[in-house]
Amino acid sequence: MIKENVRGLLQELPAHVELVAAAKARTAEEILEAIEAGVKIIGENYVQEAQRAFEVIGSRAKWHFIGHLQKNKVKKAVKLFDMIETVDSKGLAVEIDKICAQENKVMQVLVEINSGREKQKFGVMPEEAEGLIKELSRLRNISIMGLMAMGPYAGEPELTRPYFVETKKTFDNIKALNLPGVEMKYLSMGMTNSYRIAIEEGANVVRIGSKIFGEREEK
Ligand SMILES: *Cc1c(COP(=O)(O)O)cnc(C)c1O
């Protein structure tokens, strides 16, 4: 099933769109199947879970962190991940930068936008993204590569469209500033129920879990 799902998705996605297989709560064996079918990037929400999978899988894929990163997990995250998609504060960015300097590494990051403006969610408000990115662009051991956003609805996919549209506008506005040290290359938005709409509205990275691995059992 996983292999067929991946192959179907890879055929469907336009060539400019990168697929991140969102692997929370999946076993290393399931993730390996996805890789064998052509997945190149694994998305992980939890550092410890990613460590366990990494021990089995290693660099057969790129690893993107897509969860909420706590400062006390940054050191492990920096060692493991190729990109952190969820930077949403100066404090977190400074910590990543500091650890990267020690590790002699430059981390690619995306700034997470709270596109639905939901109180309980992480990410910065769309209008705060530019200011944050200007501040972060001075950090030498992180490289800002774009934006990441989640739509607010789990239900009707079409309802997520306005949030994707707004995030794309924010992305384009920041890109047009040509800030030194900032390469607005990736716009990561869209999940299983919304990726088609996200791509129509400009996403070039989609993070897909259940459509690859099947429905998750809710904890
Ligand atoms: C779980 C998750 C996804 C994928 O969700 P699905 O609905 O299973 O496709 C994408 N992004 C993030 C941040 C996630 O936590």
Q: Are 92 and 69 in contact (CB under 8 A)?
A: yes
Mutation choice for ligand 1 from 81, 113, 121, 191, CB with most ligand atoms inside 8 A = 191
**Distance from C-alpha of 62 to C-alpha of 73, rounded to nearest angstrom:** 19
Confidence (pLDDT) at 151: 78
User: Which ligand 1 atom minimizes the distance to the CA of 195?
Assistant: 9
Structural element, H or E, at residue 201: none
Which residues on neighbouring strands pair with residue 144, listed in sequence order?
Answer: 109, 182
Q: Are 188 and 169 in contact (CB under 8 A)?
A: no
pTM of the model: 0.97
Confidence (pLDDT) at 77: 98
Q: Are 3 and 38 in contact (CB under 8 A)?
A: no
Give the residue whose CA is nearest to atom 11 of ligand 1.
Answer: 207
CA torsion sign for 118, 120, 124, 128 is: positive
Nearest to 79 by CA among 110, 109, 47, 45: 47
Confidence (pLDDT) at 219: 47
From residue 23, give the alpha-carbon distance in Å to each of 112, 149, 188, 194, 197. Answer: 19, 17, 16, 17, 22
Q: How many residues does the chain have?
A: 219
Name the pairing type of β-strands 107-113 and 142-149: parallel
The number of beta carbons lying within 10 Å of the beta carbon of residue 19 is 22
pLDDT tens digits for the chain (219 residues)? 999 999 999 999 999 999 999 999 999 999 999 999 999 999 999 999 999 999 999 999 999 999 999 999 999 999 999 999 999 999 999 999 999 999 999 999 999 999 999 888 899 999 999 999 999 999 999 999 999 998 787 678 899 999 999 999 999 999 999 999 899 999 999 999 999 999 999 999 999 999 999 987 654
User: Which ligand 1 atom minimizes the distance to the CA of 207?
Assistant: 10
Give the residue whose CA is nearest to atom 6 of ligand 1.
Answer: 209
Give the residue whose CA is nearest to atom 2 of ligand 1.
Answer: 22
Helices and strands counted in the chain (H then E): 9, 8
Which residues on neighbouring strands pair with residue 205, listed in sequence order?
Answer: 18, 188
124: DSSP letter: B
**Distance from C-alpha of 91 to C-alpha of 118, rounded to nearest angstrom:** 21
**Distance from C-alpha of 48 to C-alpha of 50, rounded to nearest angstrom:** 5
CATH code that applies to domain 2-213: 3.20.20.10
**Distance from C-alpha of 164 to C-alpha of 161, rounded to nearest angstrom:** 5
- For residue 206, report the distance from its CA to the centre of ligand 1, in Å: 9
